[in-house]
Structures are given as C-alpha cells and as structure tokens.
Homo-oligomer: A and B are copies of this chain.
Amino acid sequence: MASTSNQSVYRATTTAPVNIAVIKYWGKRDVTLNLPTNSSLSVTLSQRSLRTLTTASCSANYPAEDTLNLNGQPQEIHPSRMAMLPSPKLSTLPLRIVSENNFPTAAGLASSAAGFAALVRAVADLYSLPQSARELSRIARQGSGSACRSLMGGYVAWRTGELADGSDSLAEEVAPAAHWPEMRALILVVSAEKKDVPSTEGMQTTVHTSDLFDHRAKNVVPERMAAIEAAIQARDFHKFAEITMRDSNTFHATCLDSWPPIFYMNDVSRAAVRLVHDINRAVGRTVAAYTFDAGPNAVIYYEEKDEALVAGTVKAILGASASGWEGPFYEKLANVTAPGVSLDQIDSRVVSGLKDGVSRVILTGVGEGPVSVEDHLVTETGEMVNN
C-alpha cells in the first residue's frame, strides 16, 4: 500500500490516455460480462495532449461510504462497477477517488475509456497489487469496454476472446509507441449537437436489428485485424490508412442499417471525409486517414513527415475560426501559413463546411500508457485538492 507521511491516508495517482480505434468495437456478445462481438484495435494518444488524472485513496478517517469525484462533481457510484475493481479481500477502508480530465468531457472524446483505465490502474497501485497491464485490462473491460485499450501505449488490440467466462477477452500491445512514433492524430471537434443515441444503447440496437452487422463482425473484421496489424508492424501508412477509413465507414454503415437507424456522422463529418480524399488525391498518395467514433468528430491520422500536407491544409482552411492550434505537437506547424495542398484542389463545399462546423482542433500523436505520478488529487490529510 502506497503510504504518505501521515500514515492514516493512503494514496496512489495515475494518468491514463485516450485511445481512438481504427478497427471499431461495436456490439456485445455478452452484456453482463461486457464481451465484444469482434476484436478491435486502437492507437493510444499522447497524454501530453489528453489525459485523465486519477487519485485513489483510502483511510480509516473517511466516512464509511466510498466516493467518486469527477472534474469537481460528485458522481454516483455504480456498485457493480466498483465490485470489479482490483482489491485484496482485506482492504476494508473506505475509498475516496478523485479524477479529472484535462479536456472538456463535452468534446465527445472517449473520456470514459481513459477514466476507467485510470481508475483501475490507480486502485491497483493503491493496494500495490502485482497485476500486469494485460491483467488489468480484463478488469477495465468489464467497466467500460474500450477502457481496456487505454491501459497500454502505442498500438493496442482488444482480442474478443473465445472463452465463455471472458477471461481471454483483453488488451494486448501490438507495437509500442516507439515502434512507429511518427503517427499523428488531428482531432476536428465538431460543434456539438446532442448525441443521437448513446453508444451503449446504440450498439445493442445494431446487434439485434442490422442484417449487415453480423457479416461485418464475423467476416469483415477478422481479415482487417490481421491486415492492419501487419501494416503496423511494417509501418505501412498507406495500408493502415485504407483499412482505418474503410472500417470507420463499415461501422457507420451498420449503424445506418440498424432499426431505427443511427446516425453519428453529419454534414461536417462528411466534409472531413471528402477533405481527406481530396488531399490524398492531390498529393498522389495516401497521406491521411479519417475515422469517426460514435459522434461527428473526425480524427485524422497522418505521419509527422506529412504534417504540412495534412494539418497544414486543415489549418489554412480553418484559420482563426477554430481554437486549439497550440500544445506540444504544434511547434513545427506554428510557422506554417500556406496550405500544404492548394485549396483549389479541395471541394469548395468542403472548405465552407469545415469552416462553419469545426469549433476546435486537438493536435496530438501516438503515446504511452498509464503513468504513476505524484500530482495527487487528495492531500496527505485526505482533502480534495482544488485545481
């Protein structure tokens, strides 16, 4: 148990990253155990841009009830989720968990994945449990499926597994960030409309009603998983990009094929799709790849060497209308003013659609998994730190 100078309050603090899937998780084959219908694969994003910071603490001085505070707001504790947390039987002290994101929850980023990964990691550290990231990913999976992929850095697969008890449904590192560190991600945050259908509900609608869904899970994804893992090993961006874009499209196709239909992409998302195709066409090779989660935001992957062509063109289009051109990955681009691809190579409706619809960008790249830190969100005497 990690102790402090005041022996009565025990604390452990960790950061955890956001991950953005390139082969999408959609649909559970077992809702209770949270087992997916298909394997998925994601890129862990750098915590220099986006991270959750979570302190798990326990003390005999705390009121008997466990508490959870997220971004300054007390949260209801789901007993079933807490029961999943790693915990030695003897840990009877009340828990106080405090967590905060360094990005707006409303931005539609996968904050629950980072949040649950940080929670699991921090609690395991609090009790000095010996579990590996792989073992912890099995626990995180039960709380929030894609959270399991946020326990590792780099390129991470979540294997659907075959066992009925789900014990082989966990995350595995396909390659560390250092294997292909040039991967960048430009997130276009689309002016938030209320989300169409929450993903937990949406995915089961798809499972039960889409005639195309089953075909994707059984026949399409296994081939794509093998192909994209090979592309990552070979650092073959062209292949990585095409599979990423096609799987995003197939995923949204199964949403549209659901009954009632589910739409996550809107006209601004479509403009981002066309932008990427227009850039790739103008450059004459595949330098950019889009992907969309259960919302309208676009994530555009590219390699650092093509930064001016991709992010530089987006910057020229958005100009001053989008905030977020800043941060640790912005250095090289700060001085770029001309678009990498001439704007007359881009459909004019795309240019106006993005200008009107993108409110913010986040420029980041592949990064590492959770890290233990000393920036505790609970003081030595058990008080919440006010940031």
Total interface residues on A, CB under 8 Å, equals: 29
User: Distance in Å from the Cβ of A202 to the closest Cβ of chain B?
Assistant: 14
Binary flags per residue of A231-275, CB closer than 8 Å to B gives 1, else 0 = 000000000001001100110111011111101001100100100
Task: Give complex CA distance A243, B345 in Å.
Answer: 41
Give the residue among A194, A216, A270 with the most B Cβ atoms within 10 A: A270
Residues of A270-300 contacting chain B, CB below 8 A: 270, 273, 277
14 of the cross-chain contacts (CB-CB < 8 Å) are A211-B216, A211-B250, A212-B250, A245-B261, A246-B257, A246-B259, A249-B256, A253-B257, A260-B277, A261-B273, A263-B270, A263-B273, A266-B270, A267-B267
Our pick among B193, B211, B270, B273 for the contact of A349 (Cβ within 8 Å) is B193
Q: How far is the CA of A112 from the CA of B163 in the complex (A)?
A: 55
- Tell me if A215 is interfacial: C-beta within 8 Å of chain B: yes
CA distance A259 to B250 in the complex (A): 10
A220 interface hit (Cβ, 8 Å): yes
A61: interface (CB < 8 Å): no
- In the assembled complex, A321 has its CB within 8 A of some CB on chain B: no
User: A219 at the A/B interface (Cβ < 8 Å)?
Assistant: yes
Residues of chain B within 8 A of A252, CB atoms compared = 256
A194, A245, A261, A266 pick with most chain B CB within 10 angstroms: A261
- Taken residue by residue from 201 to 239, chain A's Cβ proximity to chain B (1 for < 8 Å, 0 otherwise) reads as 000000000011001100110000000000000000000
Most chain B CB neighbours (cut-off 10 Å) among A193, A258, A267? A267
| Complex Cα–Cα for A249 and B261 (A) | 7
Chain B residues with CB under 8 Å of A260's CB are: 277
Interchain nearest-CB distance for A91 vs B (Å): 47
